[in-house]
Amino acid sequence: GAIPSYRKKMPSSTLVVDKNPKSSISESLRSIRTNSDFMLPKKSTQIIGVTSTISGEGKTFFAINYAGILALTGKKVVILDLDMRKPKIHVGFNVDNSVGMSSILSGMSNWKDTVKHSTLANLDLIPAGPIPPNPNELLLKKEFDELIDELFKEYDIIMADNPPIGLVTDASNVFRRCDLSIYVVRAGYSKEQVISNINSLYKSKNYNNL
């Protein structure tokens, strides 16, 4: 699917589909939701992973607003900020980032104490938390799998906003759990060779429904 550019300049990625549910951006995201229904396994809970090549391609904007579109259908959705090297989601939602994914996975916080609520009734988020020295190792821990299992007791869909895959390897650890893997590129910004990289990832079969 394709999403038009947001007309207003925004200092950080934020939720816009709740403000104008009939906008072209909202409609384009609904179209992507419909298309992805053909790829997603038919089960009650799903995890969707989002990544891109480099910063600035719209990955976080997409993850936040796609989660919003899913929440508007009545699904209970939680966004996880897994970009622990360069966290952004807390800025867009204007929430505290003193605890989050890094503190959960290192055993310092219970996940229920880190959940933040959005302006949409069915949309919550867990920020990245303090920047750790070892984000890749944290995502490999059994605590990550345990967290996913716990979240599925409360939520229908987990939206995992991953780091850009062209810069670090963190995202590949998460995508093994995903039911749908979404790769974001930006017209007039992303390099053309990204397409061949995506094809290589697709052929590797390491990403479910890329």
Instruction: Tell me the per-residue pLDDT of 105-145, one tens digit each, with 9 for 90 and over.
Output: 999 999 999 999 999 999 999 999 999 998 888 988 899 99
pTM of structure: 0.92
Beta strands 46-52; 157-161: pairing state? parallel
Beta strands 123-126; 77-81: pairing state? parallel
Instruction: Tell me the per-residue pLDDT of 182-204, one tens digit each, with 9 for 90 and over.
Output: 999 999 999 998 888 888 888 88
* Lowest mean pLDDT, pick from 9-18, 62-71, 94-103, 188-197: 9-18
| CA-closest candidate to residue 18, choices 50, 51, 64, 87 | 64
- pLDDT band for 19, please (50, 70, 90 cuts): confident
Chain-centroid distance, C-alpha 133: 21
- pLDDT band for 155, please (50, 70, 90 cuts): very high
CB neighbourhood size of 28 (10 A): 16
- Residues 120, 48, 92, CA angle at the centre, nearest 5°? 40
Q: Where are the beta strands (DSSP E) in 142-179?
A: 157-161
- pLDDT band for 169, please (50, 70, 90 cuts): low
* Lowest mean pLDDT, pick from 166-170, 172-176, 192-196: 166-170
- Burial degree of 2 (CB within 10 A; 0-12, 13-18, 19+): exposed
Rounded (10°) CA dihedral 101, 106, 112, 114: -40
| CA-closest candidate to residue 70, choices 209, 180, 183, 187 | 180
